[in-house]
Amino acid sequence: MSGHGNGKVILLGEHAVVYGVPAIAAGLSSGATAVARAANATAAPTLSIAPWSVSVRPGDGSALGTAFEALVRARRELDPQRATDRSVEATMTLPGSAGLGSSAALGVAVLRALDHADDIARDFAQSQQIALAWERVFHGNPSGIDTALALAGGLARFHRQPAAGQPALVSIEGAPITLVVAHSGASGSTKETVANVAALRASQPEAFAEALAAFGALVHTAERALREGALESLGEAFDEGQTLLRAWGVSTPELDAMCEVARGAGALGAKLTGGGGGGCMIALVRDEHDAERVRSALSVRGREAFETTIGAAHTARKEKT
């Protein structure tokens, strides 16, 4: 009766994706797993989360309790006959507020555990709809990229408003790439950074539109580079992406400094990933040897990092700490 949701790294296009620009992201095998159990007949079901030692109930006033309630309600609305109330025990294998999609991974794991217990098989669109009801509680105006990757994994281009008849998620086939993922030591609030970017858009509409166009061009370049295995070009796109994100105020001095350290140790490019304001950065490296150099340079700075290989077959991903 268990369910899994993937974490994710955004390679390019975070924040811009909220405004309809495509973005490229990859699922991580780390994320969340969950098991559903019959609820106690006399009490509301609980959602407990290890290793956070957190236990919530629908509508208990906590963000997680509100998200659990939204998910349970969305399931019930779609399947009034089959969806039952159950308690869920979840386990996180990713840090929260790190830009790695932990909340989406958790929501998807909970959804899948409940569906599994009720013997409900859902398509992507319906799962995405329910997972978004959960995710809105945390992120206000989510584009859906985190929940899409939590559901599908793999390496893909995501579009919030795909052209008529086109899927939201288009898989990208290419040679595997290796990333070093490092935490800046500060947690980031995606809700806050997304709200700050929205304020910037309202105050500087023309400059914002130009930046969106630049993000669109970068994502296009990066997708071609991924398909062709053009690592230098992908690395340059990472660096340019970081410059644009910094101009939007979603980087931090520590994330900027870590990107510099990674480049200095041989990374082909580096940028923050996800919501920013803290959380993680990613550095593109040529091989395991360079990954080790980047990791050890970051560790001198006191920053923990892991390495992940993304691409080729959707299953060809490994995470190594």
List contacts with ligand MEV (CB under 6 A): 10, 14-15, 17-18, 101, 139, 142-143, 145-146, 190, 194, 274-275
Q: Does the annotation count 239 as an active-site position? A: no
Q: Which amino acid is at 155?
A: L
CB of 143 to ligand MEV, least distance (A): 3
Instruction: Report whether 226 contacts 172 (CB < 8 A).
Output: yes
The residue (of 21 and 71) whose beta carbon lies closer to ligand MEV is 21
Dihedral angle at the C-alpha atoms of 131, 124, 274, 211, nearest 10 degrees? -120
Q: Residue 271: what are its φ and ψ, rounded to 5°?
A: -160, 165
Q: Quick one: angle between helices 102-117 and 145-152, nearest 10?
A: 50
- Which of 18/32 has CB closer to ligand MEV? 18
In this complex, which beta carbon is closest to ligand MEV, that of residue 20 or of residue 229?
20
**Residue of 146, 256, 287, 290 marked active site:** 146
* Nearer residue to ligand MEV within complex by CB, 17 or 74: 17
- State which residue, 14 or 307, has the beta carbon closest to ligand MEV: 14
Are 279 and 191 within 8 A, CB to CB? Answer: no
Residue nearest to ligand MEV (CB): 143
Least CB distance from residue 142 to ligand MEV, whole Å?
4
DSSP secondary structure code for residue 18 in this structure:
G
Closest CB 35 distance from ligand MEV, rounded Å: 26
Q: Which two tokens stand for residue 266?
A: 């041989």
| Residue among 219, 313, 262 at smallest CA distance from 10 | 219
Tokens of 16: 């811009």
Separation CA 129–CA 162 (nearest Å): 15
Among residues 305, 222, 216, 227, which one has the least CA distance to residue 259? 305
- Tokens matching residue 240: 């340019």
End-to-end CA distance of the chain: 29
> Residue 190 Cβ, how far from ligand MEV at the closest point, in Å?
5
Least Å distance between CB 131 and ligand MEV?
12
Q: Which residues are catalytic?
A: 146
